[in-house]
Amino acid sequence: MRLVAAAREITAGARARIARPARLRHERAAAAHSPAAAQRTAHRPGPVGGSGFPAARAGILPRMQPQTPTEPLPIATVTVGMTVVDPAGQEAGTVTAVQMPGTDVRPDVVAGVAEDLMVTGYLRIDGTGLLSNDVYAGGDQLRDTVEGEPGVVNLRVPREDLHRAT
């Protein structure tokens, strides 16, 4: 019996919210199209504030804005001949080729990794050390670059995590 009574209360409450007086509905509709309402929502993209989340429309949640980088990606400042250094300060080698993100040039690595590198862009590095061969660093593995003679590319990952050429 309590369950039935609770269901009736919920239904009655929903009906009361739906069955607002016509005057009130028309006043709210008119207020939504007023110049003040247009000014409040002018900065918001899309219909009625642009967000599907009621909390965001109410101004409770911060709006996410697309980020426009103010500085170029680290890979955009890399040139052939720069020295590559990992986070521990160990030299990984010298840059022999640079491919920007979205390139059609496929690196000489295993399938799957090659496609990822083509999306992020990559550096071909002439490796250093005993029995070294060329390795590839993805654009997302670069921390920053330092200009100079020769310039330096700082990695986010240890040199052991770079992709070996096949």
Per-residue pLDDT of 123-146, as tens digits, reads 999 987 655 689 999 999 999 998
Sign of the Cα torsion 14, 15, 18, 21 reads negative
Exposure class string for 76-106: b at 16+ Cβ within 10 A, else e:
ebbeeebbbbbeeeeebbbbeebbebebeee
Its domain, for residue 105, covers 74-164
- Whether residue 63 is contained in a domain is answered as no
> Where are any strands of DSSP class E within 22-130?
83-85, 91-99, 122-127
Give the C-alpha separation, 71 to 7, whole Å. Answer: 59
pLDDT tens profile 90-136: 999 999 999 999 999 999 999 999 999 999 999 999 987 655 689 99
* 16: its two tokens: 């009361």
| Three-state DSSP state, 76 | helix
| Co-location of 93 and 17 in the same domain | no
Total domain count, the chain: 2
| Torsion angle defined by CA atoms of residues 16, 40, 53 and 32, in that order, rounded to the nearest 10 degrees | 30
Side-chain half-sphere of 143: how many Cα atoms within 13 Å?
15
| Three-state DSSP state, 140 | helix
- Whether residue 25 is contained in a domain is answered as yes
| Co-location of 24 and 91 in the same domain | no
**CATH code of the domain containing 92:** 2.30.30.240
- Whether residue 154 is contained in a domain is answered as yes
- Summary mean pLDDT of the chain: 75
